[in-house]
Structure 1
Amino acid sequence: MSDIAKDRTGHSLKNMGSASSLSRKELHGCIKGSLSAVSYVDEPSQRDVASRLTVQMENTYQLGPSKHFPVAIVNHILKDVLTNSLQEEQYEPELCRQMTKTISEVIKAQVKALLVPRYKLIVMVYIGQLSGQSILVGSRCLWNPKSDNFASYVFRNSSLFALATVYAVYFE
């Protein structure tokens, strides 16, 4: 508000009396919008000062995982699941196709139960017939060797082999 407007408002309030002493009828006679009230506290109260002192800012950004991926424990999980699931099985293509899905879900559930924060898990299971042939498995991704990791286990019985791999990629 300009100085001239302040002077006019102050002068009109002095002539009319204080706003609290005016009745509703007298206020209705005034020009609409000519009277306004603004409250302003110059000094902060003790409560405001105390609340400002308790506010603390902290940096929550982490430059790496607080808890690393437990490779040894995951290797043990892979060994147990593959051994228990495939110990007595014979290779049948349709059965093995279904078992890869089931085994990968069981492994994923058990690794998630470890509650390692901020890791994305990729579980891959391969089952094939053991008849003198070989298999080469390769995978590629963007990898941070400081935080990302993997665990892998190979199982064999008289008629089949199984390869299970868990990739743990840290999510920043």
Structure 2
Amino acid sequence: MAGASFINTSMKRRGSMFDASLARLNPMGSSTCTFQEDPTSELFLMKKFSVRHQNTYKLEPDKRFESGKVQAILEQILMDNLEDVDYSSVAGRELCKQISDTILKVLKNQGYTRHKLVAIVNIGQLKDQGTRVSSRCLMDTKRDNWAGAFYEGKTLWATATVYGIYYE
């Protein structure tokens, strides 16, 4: 058979672990973490009506992301919101959303208009355990920066991390 094409149907490509078509139920004892925006959030509603600007092709930001100043803001926000709060797994979820929204609002008012701000807040129960929170990202060290803060109360601990990524 000269010129005929032959396709081997027995050799199918394996799917990726991120392929939605391969969604499975989690086995007993495993856990997953999913992230999605809260449609009732004020910041989510602001995104719908945000003004899109054309690129200015600036290579440097007007105001640099100052991690020391941002860290002080994060510590103050965590203390204000968690000072007299007892740990609850149900309330913790809402507190994380509320605190991250507050952080983003305050930092937007600080003049970081040319930075994409990403706020991550973790809250956990304070018992006799060790907890390690870590993250990795690829950054431009000249223009991008991050800041983090930690809070420990009577029954809970919290971390807040903000990434300021410059965009043209």
TM range (shorter): 0.5 to 0.7
Match for residue 136 of structure 1? 132
Aligned-partner Cα distance in 1 for 2:100–2:57? 33
2:119 maps to amino acid: V
What residue number does 1:77 align with? 73
Task: State how 1:1-172 maps to structure 2 within 5 Å.
Answer: 61-172=57-168
TM-score by length of 2: 0.63
For structure 1, the 5+ residue unaligned runs are: 1-59
Secondary structure, aligned partner of 2:124 = strand
Q: Share of identical aligned residues, percent?
A: 39
Give 1 or 2 for the bigger CA radius of gyration.
1
2:14 maps to what in 1?
none
Letter of the structure 2 residue corresponding to residue 144 of structure 1 = D
Q: Report the AA paired with residue 96 of structure 1.
A: G
Measure how far apart 1:73 and its partner are.
Answer: 2.1
Cα distance in 2 for residues equivalent to 1:152 and 1:133: 21
CA drift of 1:63 comes to: 2.4
Aligned residue pairs, count: 113
Segments of 5+ residues of structure 2 without an aligned counterpart are: 1-55
Partner SS state of residue 134, structure 1: coil
Cα RMSD of the aligned pairs, angstroms, is 1.3
Structure 1 distance, partners of 2:153, 2:137, is 31
Amino acid at match of 2:88: E
